[in-house]
Structure 1
Amino acid sequence: MSQSPDRHRRPTRSLYVALALVPLIGVGTLAACDATKASASQGQPVKVGLGSASGTATVQAGDRLRVSADGGVLTEVTVTDPRGRQLVGGLSGNGTEWTSRAKAEPDTKYSVLARTKNPQGDTGEAKESLTTGKVAKRNRARLTPAPHGDVVGLTEPITLVFAFPVTERAAVERRLKVITDRPTEGSWDWSSTKGGKDEIAWRPKDAWAPGTKVTLRAELNGVDSGGGRFFTKDYGLSFTIGRSGAVKADLDAGAYTTPGLGLTPALWQGPGG
């Protein structure tokens, strides 16, 4: 029985090409399916909004700043002013809002960095900024004992006299800091001047130690002193405590005792002197 001559004929080139394409088409289809699944698993980015805790879009001086998340939650929020100081705050229980604990300062640009997460678990980051409104009413402070760098006496207090009444005294006092180059115990005390103006003074428990270097930092910018009257600047002074104290009279010796100089003759000793 004779065999057909076509039985042992080699496959044509076009058949090889067709067979070679079969697995490639399958791989391409699977890859496309995987890409579709990956795209479907990614949700929409979380939208971050800024405003005041009272619900208004504009943040006025004295308002608390609020950062909100739409379509997800906030995982971390950092708010800083132009000097790099952070505005402290906290997240709500469900993570959709962050509210500052401290009040916003007037006419200040705040930079906001918010990290977010959507329901699909995708994380994101948003950078925003806002500038708070200016204030209509201001308060001012006058500092004593001396201009920057002067030498003062052993019993001289640090005093701030305010141009307008201060009803938010605790808020003001929290922004005052006395720094010395040697341990010095003291405290703040509120009172009124003869002219009726509010003042606060820091006095050492004992007399200043001679030669002590003292610095006052009064970071009052943005603090509401009461009734919506804000401070719009920081204050500070530095001075050195003198190495001499008060001059004391020594009547028996007929002279004065001057610290650092000892006994010096009295210029006036009274009748018969």
Structure 2
Amino acid sequence: MSLSHARPFRPSRSLCVALALMPVLGVGTLAACDAARASASQGQPVRVGLGSADGQPTVQAGDRLQVSAHGGVLTEVTVTDPRGRQLVGGFSQGGTVWTSRAKAAPDTKYSVLARTKSPQGGTSEAKESLTTGKVVKRNRLTFSPRPHGEVVGVDDPITLTFSFPVRNRAAVERRLEVTTDNGTGGGWTWETSRGGRDRAVWRPEQAWKPGTKVVLRAELNGVDSGGGRFFTKDYGLRFTVGRSPAVRADLDSDAYITPGLGLTPALWQGPGG
């Protein structure tokens, strides 16, 4: 007889019952019966699939990541980027689908841990990873005041000037956070510079108190500013408020703003020019 046609021994239910009534001699056979019962009770393992929320198997920058379970439900999904930041999401379709609320960042490797449960109660987990595509169109920003711990005047706002128009202003603003060491409050407004560029400006409710330490976090990596133009990095800014207004350059008018004097024509070209 050819071994290629031999079938593995699977004890029937009646045989298992009969063996259970005999003296404990066939321990291996009884163990096979227990394993067969356990496998039958847990059912087939749940299959886990990855893709984008629009049904594509690949995930591009700006897509929402989707994890799906076939043959069971998802009980837990954790998606993290290389810096350990989680992509938050929620379940739908009776727990068979998990979709991220935030959009995936470009050119980022995400690690996915999905725990599942079968209809028979069997549990398992799957670990996968995926890397999103790179972006073709980028947006960038510049700060005022300048970063690196500069001391600024009590009347200076925080200004972010963008290289390209920002259509999704709400999405960008949600990623901007200003904190101070004394709880100074304020808010964002949007303006257009004389050069036609979009600007987000944060002003304190009242003039800065001298000595206030200010931190801006702009976690914009992966945010679509509109029209498929993405930010591809996070930004940060720290500065300390000085005891008097600062003399600063107005690059739009080729002049300096001097406290009490307004615009003063520039006699020489500074670092900004």
TM-score range, shorter chain: 0.7 to 0.9
Distance 1:144 1:167 in 2: 21
Tell which structure's C-alpha radius of gyration is larger. 1
- Checking the alignment, whether the CA contact within 8 Å between 1:146 and 1:152 is kept in structure 2 is no
CA RMSD, 1 decimal: 1.9
Query: Structure 1's 244 and 129: CA in aligned 2 closer, same or farther, altered over 3 A?
Result: same
CA change 1:33–1:183 in 2 (3 A) is closer
Per-residue deviation at 1:166? Answer: 0.5
Q: Relative to 1, partners in 2 of residues 1:24 and 1:196: Cα closer, same or farther, differing over 3 Å?
A: closer
What residue is the counterpart of 1:160 in the other structure?
160
Runs of 4+ more than 6 Å apart:
none
Report what 2:224 is aligned to.
224
Count of matched residue pairs: 227
What is residue 116 of structure 2 aligned with on the other side?
A: 116
Q: TM-score, normalised by structure 1?
A: 0.79
Secondary structure at 1:76's aligned position in 2? strand
**For residues 144 and 33 of structure 1, do their structure 2 counterparts lie closer, same or farther at Cα, with a shift above 3 Å needed?**
same
Q: Does 1:239 align with 2:243?
A: no
Sort the Cα spacing of 1:25 and 1:139 in 2 relative to 1 into closer, same or farther, 3 A. Answer: same
For 2:160, the aligned partner's letter is: L
Q: Percent identity?
A: 75
Please report how far the alpha carbon of residue 23 of structure 1 lies from its aligned counterpart in structure 2 after TM superposition.
2.6
Output one character per residue of 1:167-211: Cα deviation in whole Å (capped at 9) or x when no partner: 100000000000100021211010100000000110111110000
2:256 equivalent in structure 1: none
In the alignment, what sits opposite 1:103? Answer: 103
Pick closer, same or farther for the CA change 1:114–1:29 going to 2, 3 Å. Answer: closer
Aligned-partner Cα distance in 2 for 1:229–1:83: 23
Q: Do the aligned partners of residues 116 and 209 (structure 1) sit closer, same or farther apart at CA in structure 2, a change above 3 Å counting?
A: same
Alpha-carbon distance in 2 for matches of 1:27, 1:81? 49
Q: Give, in whole Å, the separation in 1 of the partners of 2:174 and 2:32.
A: 62
Gaps of 5+ in 1: 1-21, 248-257, 259-273
| Aligned-partner residue type, residue 53 of structure 1 | A
- Cα separation, partners in 2 of 1:166 and 1:71, compared to 1, 3 Å: same
Letter of the structure 1 residue corresponding to residue 38 of structure 2: A
* Shift in CA distance, 180/57, structure 1 to aligned 2, threshold 3 Å: same
Shift of 1:236: 1.1
Residues of 2 paired with 1:137 and 1:32: CA distance?
Answer: 60
Is the Cα–Cα contact under 8 Å of residues 156 and 245 in structure 2 kept in the other structure? no
1:72-100 alpha-carbon deviations (Å, 9 max, x no partner): 11011011111111111101131111001
Corresponding residue of 1:10: none
3-state SS of paired residue (1:94): helix
1:16 equivalent in structure 2: none
Gaps of 5+ in 2: 1-21, 248-258, 260-273
